[in-house]
Every structure is written in structure tokens, then in C-alpha cells.
Amino acid sequence: MNYKLFGRSGLRVSELCLGTMTMGTEWGYGSDAEESQRVFDAFLEAGGNFIDTANRYTEGTSETFLGNMIKASGRKDELVVATKYSLYTQANRINDGGNHRKNMMQSVEGSLRRLQLDTIDLLYLHIWDFTTREEEILRGLDDLVRSGKVHYIAISDTPAWLVSRMQTIAELRGWEAFAGIQAEYSLITRDAERDLIPMANHLGLAVTAWAPLAGGALTGKYLTENSDPKRIKEGSKRINEKSTAIAREVVQIANELNCSASHVALQWMMQQHQQVFPVIGARNATQLRDSMACINVKLTADQILRLNTVSAIEYGFPHEFLKSDTVQQVLHGGFQNQIINHRKP
């Protein structure tokens, strides 16, 4: 496996990130401790070092399993462990949840105990709550970095305008700035291409992509009449007419390359975006090994074009307006095709 720098930082992380939301069975699916250990071992054996979890995953069991496995591995210093705060650890407690400073600090302390670590390598704000001031969050995150309890910070599931505003505030005040963002991103869900990914590229932020296989829809397993999408709700866009057409194209290209559909779906984003890291989860080591084999596959330009075409989305205003021929003509006086623009998204 290859390694990349994470955003503008010097942190070296594997090109694939291990998602651990399926470590633990509290949510009615997932892996017990023994199978989670096999998944963890398979990831490390392949050269992976980037691991994603959260305080809330499987009621804290994900972090607990990871803490035990990391300690037993003796490889703590090699691994990059990312966790998140915002969601509650215990329900029905008014300040156990949210983006505010109190929950931030108590959540980090709980994660450190469960992970059996002195420092969290990468801490994400998990989900924007629309109740906490940006300055309160940024100052709290900066304090955590200065205290040595966190190395780097990032933000997940938050509108692009808020991320960019917060990044500007942090830079102007000399506080710790974000190294990356996390967002849902796949061939079936390309919404992040409207604002989040262009913003990340402009600001030098890494992007960790959750659900890169769209809950398994891009593996092709829901294309048969007898398929049972257990984890996909009825009416989900992951199994509608357009998504089915996307999955069929993915399977067709996989047949051409003699690989699995998951390899095609993962390589599509990795070849187009150098700073996008797919977060791959698995219920067992066999599934994980299959997903990780995507690094051995290479899509042709024509295959990427086919995938882009079948999965195309409308970018809406102002994006469609700005790239229209009329606007480009009046902006550049007819020279738009002669200007070499390295800033073009």
C-alpha cells in the first residue's frame, strides 16, 4: 500500500482508511471481538495505518476494541487513529452531545480511555449542530492540540461555507486549522463535488469519504431480483433507477477488468482525486481483503468517462451558470480557451 500526506500536514497515512463502525454488534450488525481482530490484522498486514472510528460507534465498543488491539499490536506509534466527537455517549443527558466545549472535552477524555492512548492523532467534529459558535469550537480544538491530547483536527458532515469560514478564523487568530474534512462520497452520492471537494482542494484539505460503496449498492449485490438490501431503507436513492444503472455500469467495467465491482468503485474516486481517502469498512477479513485489492486495479480514461457519464449530477446555481459559454465569453472577451488557468476547479 502507498502512503500520502494528509492535507497540508506532514502526517503520512495509508491511501485506504479502515472504517470501524462495524466493530461491535450492539447495533444489530457488525463483528464480534474475534472477527474485528482478524479485520484489524488484515489491514495492518496490507500496510494500512490509517484507522477511523468515533465515540458513538457501537455505543463505544468500536473504540474499546481498537484500544485493545492497538495495545496488543505494539505498533501504536506507526498507526494514525482518527476519532470524532459531537454525538452523545449516553442518552438523556443534556450536555452529552453537541459541538460545544463541555461535550468536546468530556468526549475526548472518554475516547482516550477507551482507545488506551495518550493522544488522538486526528480528531473530527462529527456533525454540525447549528447551536455552537464557531469561535468556541475552534478555541476548544486549539486548546486540545496545545495540551498534547490531539495532534491534528478535522471536520465532518458540515456545510462548506461553515468549514471555509472556520478555517479563515483559525488562520487569522493563529489557532490550529483543519487538516481535512469527511463527507459521504461515492458514484451514487456525488453531492460533495458541488462545494465540499472544490473547497477542500482550494484550502489544501484532505477528504475522507464515508460510504464509498454506497452501503454495498456499488458491489452489484442488489442487482438481482432476490437481493435483500438489509441495511438500505426502502425508497433509498442507493437502490433507485439511476443508482441501479450506475451499479450495472460498475459491474460491466469490473467484468472487463476481471476484478470485483468494489475495486472499480473505489478506484474511480482514487484516480480522480489524489487527496480523497476512501473509508472502507468490513464485517469480516475476507470482505476487507477484497476491498483493499482495489489498489492493484487501474481504470482507463474511457472507463472513468463512462462512470462519470452514468453518475453525472446537476451542480445547480451558481456552478452551471458560471461555466456556461455566455458567461465565459463576457468574462474573458473570447480568450477563455487561451488562458491557462491552474486555479480552475
Catalytic residues: 57
**CA dihedral for 245, 251, 257, 260, sign (positive or negative):** positive
Per DSSP, the chain holds a count of helices (H) and strands (E) of 12, 10
What is the rounded distance in angstroms from the CA atom of residue 116 to the CA atom of residue 5?
25
Amino acid at 203: L
All 3 cell numbers of residue 194?
A: 458541488
What is the rounded distance in angstroms from the CA atom of residue 249 to the CA atom of residue 242?
11
Residue 168: in which H helix or E strand, if any?
helix 160-173
Is the separation of the CB atoms in 239 and 248 below 8 Å? no
Cell 491511501 identifies what position? 15
All 3 cell numbers of residue 294?
A: 482495489
Is the separation of the CB atoms in 138 and 170 below 8 Å? yes
Is the separation of the CB atoms in 136 and 154 below 8 Å? no
Of 84, 88, 90, 99, nearest to 53 by C-alpha is 84
